[in-house]
A and B are shown apart, each in its own frame.
Chain A
């Protein structure tokens, strides 16, 4: 009996880690059923949404639920969780070892320092401006605006409980920086600068994942992700528009 409970906990924990770090919905469901299968449970059912996961090991057994309250994209953790599930499937790992391993993954610090992430957001902003046919004159102002916006996003996400407020404030800052630099004569096309520097905030991945989930038949996940993407896009657009009307 104890073994079944442990197995359920393991499946749920695995699902939670994958869902929190940006794995696709179908992959989360697939991994959970596979783990159950490798311990001889062929009739498990899982129901995964962006905000919570339900799992039952066999028909008639009680269902368990975990809440997923915050989501981010951390591909390293998805990769590590995938390794663990691979080892479980090939029979190299027991339930207890796997659980410990997953706990280690969840609490492990991020691989890149905050500074490295800020630098990459800065450079990404500049290069996106170039990709959107901006000139090299726009590279530097886009870097400055994008980097400041990303720093603001990280800090305000800690400060405010609501993610969209942080995104709104960050895009206000981006708009302010871009328009002030432009009015000081730095940069050629203010539109390209703004578009490049908001790219680190834009919910592009979320939009794509939403459509993909809808196509795969995960209708609730798709709509939920779509709603999240819409709110983020709205926050960013509103922040820029405020600055647009001021300058």
Chain B
């Protein structure tokens, strides 16, 4: 099951890299970022962690990895993080919610939609949190340099 997950998430992320026109030489890295994120998420869910904190952790790690890769290759971070978070994105929940809305099952639809909103919030929070961390580190490095 884990090998299946690894293969599927690698190719799904790299394929999204192609759909989103990521530069050719970054495709493999895009796939790897997506794979790392999905494996963390799947592992935490398998350990019976709720899907919201699992998503938060995974997207935090994705953002950290993307930042490192971006700094090394001097490209914007979103080239790696966008294809990387695609597996985490609650597309299937959003679809499920909409299907329930259209089938007049409003109470189920609302609760699924709330879940989808929480998960997209968790992804965004993970990304923002690692960005803030990065900025703090950068500022600390600058002040250190000034003191010297």
A residues in contact (CB < 8 Å) with B: 22-24, 27, 73-79, 82, 86, 110-112, 116-117, 120-121, 123-124, 127-128, 130-132, 194-195, 198-200, 202-205, 207-212, 215-216, 233-234, 236-238, 240-241, 244-245
Contacts and interface: CB of A to CB of B under 8 A. Distances in A.
B48 interface: no
26 contacts: A22-B20, A73-B20, A75-B78, A76-B23, A79-B79, A116-B18, A121-B15, A121-B19, A127-B8, A127-B11, A131-B87, A195-B91, A199-B91, A202-B91, A207-B120, A208-B89, A210-B120, A212-B124, A212-B127, A215-B125, A216-B128, A234-B101, A237-B95, A237-B97, A237-B98, A241-B99
A37 B63 CA distance: 28
Given A27-B76, A207-B120, A124 B91 contact: no
Contacts of B78: 22-24, 27, 75, 78
A237 B79 contact: no
Contacts, number: 159
A123 B11 contact: yes
Contact of A204 (B24, B91, B97, B117): B91
A132 B127 CA distance: 23
Interface residues of B, number: 50
Q: Would you call the interface of chain B mostly helix, strand, loop, or mixed?
A: helix
A66 to B, nearest CB: 21
Nearest to A201: B91
Interface string B114-148: 00110011011101100000000000000000000
Nearest to A229: B94
Nearest to B14: A120
B90 interface: yes
A52 to B, nearest CB: 21
A204 B127 contact: no
Contacts of A77: 21
Given A75-B20, A75-B21, A82-B75, A211 B92 contact: no
Given A76-B23, A86-B74, A207-B89, A127 B95 contact: no
A77 B121 CA distance: 27
B106 interface: no
B4 A233 contact: no
A217 B87 CA distance: 26
A110 B19 CA distance: 11
A198 B98 CA distance: 13
Contacts of A123: 11-12, 15
B60 interface: no
Nearest to B103: A241
Contacts of A204: 86, 89-91, 94, 120
A202 B99 CA distance: 13
Nearest to B1: A133
Given A120-B15, A131-B8, A131-B87, A238 B94 contact: no
A240 B91 contact: no
A127 B21 contact: no
Contacts of B102: 237-238, 241
